[in-house]
Amino acid sequence: MTTFYHSTRSAGDSVTSKQAILAGIAPDGGLYVSDALGETPVSLETVCAQGFHDTARLVLGTLLPDYAAEELASCVEGAYGPQWDTPAVCPVTPLGTDWLLELYHGPTCAFKDVALQMLPRLMSVARGGDGRKIMIVTATSGDTGKAALDGFANVAGTGVAVFYPHGKVSDIQRLQMVTQPGDNVAVCAVRGTFDDCQGEVKRIFSDEALAERLAGNGVALSSANSINVGRLAPQVTYYFDAYAQLVRRDAVRMGEEVTFCVPTGNFGDVLAGYFAKRLGLPVRRLVVASNANDVLTDFLTTGTYDRRRDFHKTISPSMDILVSSNLERLLYYASDGDCELVSSLMAQLAEKGFYTVPDAVMDEIRSTFSCGRADDAQTRRTILDTWRELDVLIDPHTAVAKHVLDALPADGTERVCLSTASPYKFCSDVLGALGEATDGMNGFACMDALERLTGTVAPEQLSSLREGEVLHDDVCDRERMGAFVESACARVFL
């Protein structure tokens, strides 16, 4: 069976999931979606009787059915192997009366590993040894960059260029990227915000002249951001697997609903939960947790998405985003596949900086999604309280979600807080939240102090960065990102 994908902005040209994954983004700037989502539900009984690897094969086989079973089995085995520090991959652990879904046990200590250990393998299968050369171009607010670099480094026939906002990621996040070895990798800081980086990456994908020049050398661009359906599909797995873990713990009976609270910036992580619900997972609510850049909280409250606001640099930098790209996919599904509406809304956002969604569409969205926000002071307090009261150390993004979850009235369901990164990726801010002075301390001094204070141990893949050599020191303006991509392609492929 072949499931076809098409743009959120036009149902005209359909492609297979392999083609969609290789392309990353549709030619008209839309995101690839499938109208078959939910037609083939995932068996809850099967999921609850198996582990993460089997569930990954089942979920991916449902969403990407033009991949053969043996192809997916090989991808899953490679993506979720010894590079993870627990055989559970994404374990669920107690968090007081709630639960914590730990998504940071992969090689870069962030939830992006679940998808970005898988995506290069899906791409390699999709290429099928046809000799095509692919340059992955990705903007990151902090975690996607390292996860993409780690996943694609030295993959034959593939290059990867990562852009991050200069001075707006944590010390550890920056070091993870700039010390990345590999003959096919390029990293560049951009003077501006993540939205500047992401907006320019989208423009690069729509630059026909650049595409023609690269095609002349046999090179095509693709994306490792969550705009790529190959990034989104693997994340659906951990929602199903988390539910199975709760069933095996006798925390829920099979079929009972569960609520998930997700720290959210670009909307991909929580959208994967929506995909899981469409595939049959019993989800009561998906709670969107925002930091001071609360454009999503305002949208879900008012029905108007308005990026015309001050940008706030926060202690949860991976959520410092004002244009949440994956929301476009939700608008498509909530409007029952109205490409014309979605295209109009995206045009308004580009031209005017805002759009307002029809009431009927917002009613559909609000039937599943709730929201809340936490500023930096509330985030710090939550880190402190969670450590003091529960003996659980969490990072600032997780703390945003826990603050929002704690503020919600009990709804009778088991509630799961998604923990998206190791606290040691943000050791300075976590240490400061615990009441320790950090003035004049670099990331590694803070890491050592946090270990001493809490008796916990920093992941080796982070602590070993202190011996890493800085290999990438490029900085550019937004307008020069396209030229950087073109020069990276020349260096990697020519």
* Residues 198 and 483: beta-carbon distance below 8 Å: no
Calpha distance 110→144 (Å, rounded): 8
* Residues 7 and 339: beta-carbon distance below 8 Å: yes
3-state DSSP assignment of residue 493:
helix
Calpha distance 235→285 (Å, rounded): 17
Calpha distance 261→231 (Å, rounded): 20
Calpha distance 423→325 (Å, rounded): 26
The number of helices, as runs of H, and strands, as runs of E, in the chain is: 22, 16
Radius of gyration of the chain (CA): 21
Side chain identity at residue 142, one-letter code: G
112 is catalytic: yes
> What is the enclosing helix (H) or strand (E) of 396?
helix 396-407
Calpha distance 425→397 (Å, rounded): 11
Side chain identity at residue 379, one-letter code: T
* Residues 297 and 288: beta-carbon distance below 8 Å: yes
**CA 78 from centroid of its chain's CA atoms:** 20
Query: What ranges make up the beta strands (E) of 123-240?
Result: 133-139, 158-165, 185-191, 219-222
**160 pairs with which residues across the strands?**
136, 185
* Residues 187 and 181: beta-carbon distance below 8 Å: no
Cα→Cα distances 314→85, 143, 227, 293, Å: 29, 15, 24, 8
* Residues 36 and 62: beta-carbon distance below 8 Å: no
Active-site choice (112, 146, 168, 202)? 112
* Residues 283 and 242: beta-carbon distance below 8 Å: no
Cα→Cα distances 230→5, 279, 423, Å: 12, 17, 27
- Ramachandran angles phi, psi of 249, nearest 5°: -85, 0
Calpha distance 403→149 (Å, rounded): 32
Pairing of β 4-7 and β 10-16:
antiparallel
3-state DSSP assignment of residue 121:
helix
Pairing of β 219-222 and β 133-139:
parallel
Virtual torsion, Cα 44, 420, 436, 194, nearest 10 deg: -160
| Residues with a known catalytic role | 112
